[in-house]
Structure 1
Amino acid sequence: MAHKMDRLLFGDNQFFGINHMSEEKARAGAMRFQKTQSIVDVLDIALAEGVRTFMCTTHDRILEIVETMKANPAKYADFIFYPGMPYAHKYANAVTEDGYLGTLKRFLPQEGLLDAAVRGGLSIANKDVEGLITLLVDAEMKMFEGVQAPVIFLQNVVVDLLLGLKFKDAFRIFADHCRKRYNAEPGFITMNLPLLLRALEAQGVENPIVCANMNKIGFRMSGGWAAYAAAIDAYPCRVIAMSIYASGAIPPAEAIAWVAEQPQIESMVFGASGRANIRNTVELVKAADARRAIAA
């Protein structure tokens, strides 16, 4: 049974110093959220406003958030994580600190350590890409043990690299492993949605969850909205729009009104760091969806 995504998803860029239009804002955000509790406080606000899905990287700090929520199961019973992987800096730092063996022990599930080591060895010896991909997924998913993670995303850096290399088998391998080991649906983030959807279709990945930039001005969209809409119509998929504000270039009400007018878009992901912005976004989405329903 397919996972039903919420209309609004909460992103994590603002917590880790990422802003595509302003380095100053990125630095200010990173300083503000140096303590994990300050991130949890914002997630609590989002949850109170009805936004319960957190689309996040596998940054080291996310583990602290997961542990906080596992310690309060009643409060966070409905909270959902959508992990996006890999987070490359994490591995580089871990190898520097702990060495290769220490890194394996830190990230891999204990029950599967031997199995993972065997898979990793085969990957190196036989260029067994399937073993390597599943090994990396297991390493990233270790931190989400005990919480809800019904969708697992492959980050756009890897997705678009694989597209460029024409190594499309990796998408099927990733999708199969997410379903079989984690009972989760695979998700794919990309900067080139038309090319990705064709590749997923060719690999038999049916009705995939895909996330890409989608906004009124075509900011960071390969081919613009017309190409994206044509691809979505041609290849059945479930679509999440990100960068809907074009990193601040479009006013929120205008941006959300445009998204609401696109029936192909099932969900949208946004970032905010305060109650007023979160509540305003929730209200704008509800109002825009209501207008669309009336017009229909």
Structure 2
Amino acid sequence: MMDKLLFGDNQFFGINHMSEEKARAQAMRFQDTSAIMEVLDAAYDEGIRTFMCTTHDRIAEICDVVRANPGRYDGFQFYPCMPYAHKYANAVTDHGMVGAIAHFMPEDGLFKTMLRSGAALVTKDAEGIVKVLIDAEMKMFAGLRTPVIFMQNVFVDLLLGMGFTKAFRMFHDHVREKYRAEPGFITMNLPLLADALAAEGIESPIICSNINKIGFRMCGGADKYREVLESGKVRAIAMSVYASGAIPPREAIEWVAGLQGVESIVFGASSRGNIRSTRDLVAEYMGAV
């Protein structure tokens, strides 16, 4: 069972879909890990135990703090979301496509040797590369609770567009077999992804997507979203429920809570007051967080 309320990390890395000025201010505020931990501590103290985060390099510092203080963070868990697109984009710029893949491989691993000779690309050993890259991303979470592991929307939607849906099955199987975790998928198009996962034989997938009253960034249309949710074929996590501030909090939470098929809400906040306000609204409309 997933918690009703999950805490996201967009605010820590300068991501705001409505205001570039606010995004820049947040990026400046959270340059130090201590500033991030202050907000995470506030969320934890307000009863939120799940941190849904990217595999940004600075998340490794958060993992170190949590590992070093098991008593303080009893019950705390991470939902890693990978791969972190900017990290790979920068690596491609610096090292080229093949060099970027090699950059994230184990130093003395078989695949690094294969990539140097081009053998992995020649044999199209996509599954092997996918597994090694997942393992590389997961290293920072060693020894921590990661019951759900997500594929990020940039890659999910790219794979959807390419029609390479077999990669979803590769991710799904490796996450379950090696990490004993539930695989999750983040997307900007819930209806299209739900169909693709079903075609790959992935049943009751955890899918995180924008779900809000005004249809903000809900590709495929609100009616299609409702149809998929009411089918009971997916376990949905709603993000952007406030539509970046366009919907009043109570109205937003009440509407999402009334939808069939939404198990959790993920949100970002940078103050204890906003964290508590969202927690109280979710508890009122969806039950204990």
Whether TM exceeds 0.5 here: the answer is yes
Which 4+ runs in 1 deviate beyond 4 A?
Answer: 92-110, 118-122
Amino acid paired to 1:206: E
Separation in structure 1 between the aligned mates of residue 163 and residue 231 of structure 2, nearest angstrom: 21
User: What is the percent sequence identity of the aligned residues?
Assistant: 61
Q: Determine helix, strand or coil for the equivalent of 1:204.
A: coil
- Is 1:50 aligned to residue 83 of structure 2? no
Separation in structure 1 between the aligned mates of residue 141 and residue 113 of structure 2, nearest angstrom: 23
Q: How does 1:15-164 map to 2 (within 5 A)?
A: 15-93=12-90, 107=104, 114-117=109-112, 122-164=119-161
Shift in CA distance, 174/192, structure 1 to aligned 2, threshold 3 Å: same
Separation in structure 1 between the aligned mates of residue 12 and residue 206 of structure 2, nearest angstrom: 24
Shift in CA distance, 235/173, structure 1 to aligned 2, threshold 3 Å: farther
Amino acid paired to 2:257: A
Q: TM-score, normalised by structure 1?
A: 0.89
Q: Which residue of 1 aligns with 2:283?
A: 286
Q: Tell me the CA shift for residue 225 of structure 1.
A: 2.3
Give the aligned length: 285
- Is 1:251 aligned to residue 248 of structure 2? yes
1:201–1:235 contact (8 Å) kept in structure 2: no
1:119–1:132 contact (8 Å) kept in structure 2: no
Amino acid paired to 1:142: K
Q: Tell me the CA shift for residue 107 of structure 1.
A: 4.9
Q: Tell me the CA shift for residue 106 of structure 1.
A: 7.8
Shift in CA distance, 233/261, structure 1 to aligned 2, threshold 3 Å: closer
Separation in structure 2 between the aligned mates of residue 146 and residue 204 of structure 1, nearest angstrom: 31
Q: Tell me the CA shift for residue 246 of structure 1.
A: 0.5
Q: Which residue of 2 aligns with 1:201?
A: 198
Q: Tell me the CA shift for residue 48 of structure 1.
A: 0.7
| Consecutive unaligned residues in structure 1, runs of 5 or more | 291-296
1:108–1:138 contact (8 Å) kept in structure 2: no
Q: Which residue of 2 aligns with 1:228?
A: 225
Listed one character per residue, the Cα deviations across residues 63-104 of structure 1 (whole Å, up to 9, x for unaligned) are 000011111111123111111111132245467889999988
Shift in CA distance, 100/23, structure 1 to aligned 2, threshold 3 Å: closer
Q: Which residue of 2 aligns with 1:293?
A: none
RMSD: 2.4
Q: TM-score, normalised by structure 2?
A: 0.91
Shift in CA distance, 223/101, structure 1 to aligned 2, threshold 3 Å: closer
- Is 1:178 aligned to residue 198 of structure 2? no
